Structures are given as C-alpha cells and as structure tokens.
Structure 1
C-alpha cells in the first residue's frame, strides 16, 4: 500500500524501516556531525548526559505537521530557542521512548497515551553536554495541550513537507574554539529553527526522505 509522501502513515513506514538499520556510529555520518567533522573527536572526549526529544508528526491528512516548542527565556540552556519537546532521561524511565513521552507530557501537556513511537534516529552528540536520542512518533489530531510556563512559551506546528524540502535548509556559521562551525537554519513564518533542532530535522531528511 502506498501513502502520500508527507503523510503520517508514510512517515511511520519510513521511520520504522530506517530504524531497522540503525547503528550506534551512524551519528558521525549525518546532520551537524557531517558538516563539522573536526568536532567529532572533541565531543567523543566529553562526558555526556542522556536526553531524549520527541519528534511528533501529527496525522493531518496528506501533510503531517511536526510539533515544536519555543523555550522560555529564563531557562539555563538553550533559552528562547525553538526545540522539540524533551529533556534529560530519568532513572525511572524504562527507555528513551518513555523519557521523550514523559517530557512532552510535562512540558506541553501532550497525553503520553496518544503518542505512538515509530522509531529512532541516530543519537545527536551536543556540544552543550548531552547525548540526545530523537524519538520519532505519530500523534492523532484532536489532542489538547497545557504548557508548562516555566519551560515553554509557545507551541507551534510546521508542515512535514516544508521541513523535508532541502531548499528550506539554509546554512549558518559561527566561531567555536577558534574555528568556524556550521549549522542548519530553517526559518518558518518568523520563527528561527536552528542549531540542534534544525540539525535533527536535517537527519530526518537525510535518513528518511533524501
């Protein structure tokens, strides 16, 4: 059975298929790591904390919509930035899927019972000190959200077709430890999706749609 390219059903199918081939070292070959190979030895020498984020594709007809948050300006790390729901893994979490769903429920009030995990991406090794596991999921529409004002200012959705169009993947750069480092940017309706979040979106594109 074939599904529209950017539908939640096709996202599910592709996410599950690529997860079967996932290897622990794949993070080196995708997204930001591929852009900045010289940072790989540095991040490998860091002691990283485990975290998980939820990439939730809302089943919205032929073009699924992906949930993003705008973080509050008062947070200690990545304040004010666009992010996926997620955070540090707790000892009580059974796996990364539970951690991502729990964090989404705590941050934006998305009922974890409505979240259908469909796969993972390679871990994202963040220079801010986290090993982030992106959990791919499908969510049916009609849910209600309740934002935690200490963490999230706003929630918005972006069409999957926009995110998976490489023409929307701009490039930025900055100086890190004396060298130029590159990152992806995906401006959307006045919001700046960049850094770790855009890097993870780029990996979705590379592994599922390129």
Structure 2
C-alpha cells in the first residue's frame, strides 16, 4: 500500500511554509545568539544597549528544491565587512519599529528585491550579538520571477544556496578561535567557495533547530 508523505516533508518552499505553520502556535522561546555557545558572553551582551535590527530569510520557490538568498557584504562596510549575510539592517522609525517592514525595506535597498514577491510567514527568536544588535529574523517565501539589483555600496555579490544543504546538520561545523584571550565557539557552513559563519551561520543553525531538528 502506498503511504502519503506528510505535507511538511521535503525541501520545497511550500513544505517549508507548512513547517513554519506547524510551529506557529508555539512560543518563540528563549533568545538565541553568540552567547548560546559561549555562556559567559551573556554579561558582555547585557552590559551594552542593543540596537534593534531585522533580517529577511528569503526562501525562494524553486519547485521541489527551495533555495535561500544570501549576500556577500562589501569589504568596506563598518561591521561584518566581507561576510556572507542575509539582507537586513537596523529597524528605523520609518519602519514603524516593525521588523517585517524593516526586513523588506532593507532587502529592497540592498538587493532590489521587491516586497510584492515576498510572502511573509513568521519570525525566529531574537538573535543577540556581541557587536550590539538584537536581530529579528523574518521568514519569507520569494515567488519567481523576480529581478535582483545589488547595491554596490553594500553588496559585493548575491547568490542562492539550496535549503536542503543549509538544513543538513552534517554541514554545520562548530569551530573556535581566540578572542580577548578566551576561546570562542561559533558555527561555520562552508559552501563551495563561500564561507558562511558568525551571525549568519548562527541564524541558520537557529532555523534548523527550530524547524528541522
């Protein structure tokens, strides 16, 4: 007898949306962030005011295999220069202090993604950073066809990574380096010649733990 596969299985955009819907009635849970792998950073984060920010996690509908849009920040950016990142930035008064508005605005400013192509699904827990941000990751499905125009002042490149690759824990590496005379741990997710690490890898790991683990 043939068995029907649950609607949330697989890595299509719609399967992703159904996973989000299944979690929709649950609380977002505790904050994630740099302190999750380094508990002593709680005090460092708490010692300074955090600026509210939002990023868009753009899940592109590519049929059976959805992909995720990521950017490579230019090397002259003040923070996180040269790193792989989600489109996003600070939540401004013009956004009415709403993370969704900020995420969509930043995605349009950074990569030219128009909001009419994005179907908002929900949020992940806040991600707190030692660089002074409290980030709300906003989940959105991106419906083709769409055109992207990277802002050369902020974005050196735009590329897509299969959702199935990012949600495979075998591709998540826990690494460390010395910072202020202490060993600090963080996730990395190498993808071809791209090296995803830091906040972006941490948010991807949060997405995996929230929806797939």
Same-fold call, TM cutoff 0.5: yes
Q: Are 2:21 and 1:26 equivalent residues in the alignment?
A: no
Out of 5, 20, 23, the position equivalent to 1:15 is: 20
5+ long unaligned stretches in structure 1 = none
Query: Aligned partners of 1:181 and 1:163: how far apart in 2?
Result: 23
Q: Are 2:177 and 1:174 equivalent residues in the alignment?
A: yes
Q: 1:72 maps to which residue?
A: 74
Superposition TM-score, scaled by structure 2 size:
0.92
- Is the contact between residue 34 and residue 41 of structure 2 (CA under 8 Å) also seen in structure 1? no
Query: Aligned partners of 1:149 and 1:20: how far apart in 2?
Result: 40
5+ long unaligned stretches in structure 2 = 1-5
Out of 1, 7, 16, the position equivalent to 1:2 is: 7
- Is the contact between residue 19 and residue 120 of structure 1 (CA under 8 Å) also seen in structure 2? no
Query: Aligned partners of 1:21 and 1:178: how far apart in 2?
Result: 39
Mark the CA change 1:19 to 1:32 in structure 2 (over 3 Å): closer, same or farther: farther
Query: Aligned partners of 2:183 and 2:24: how far apart in 1?
Result: 32
Query: Aligned partners of 1:32 and 1:48: how far apart in 2?
Result: 13
Question: Structure 1, residues 132-151: CA drift from partner, whole Å, max 9, x if none?
Answer: 11001101121001111000
Question: Structure 1, residues 164-208: CA drift from partner, whole Å, max 9, x if none?
Answer: 000000122122332211000001011000000000000000000
User: Which has the larger displacement, 48-57 or 8-17?
Assistant: 8-17
CA RMSD of aligned residues (A): 1.5
Q: 2:3 maps to which residue?
A: none
Q: 2:160 maps to which residue?
A: 157
Runs (4+) of structure 1 exceeding 6 A deviation are none
Q: 2:61 maps to which residue?
A: 59
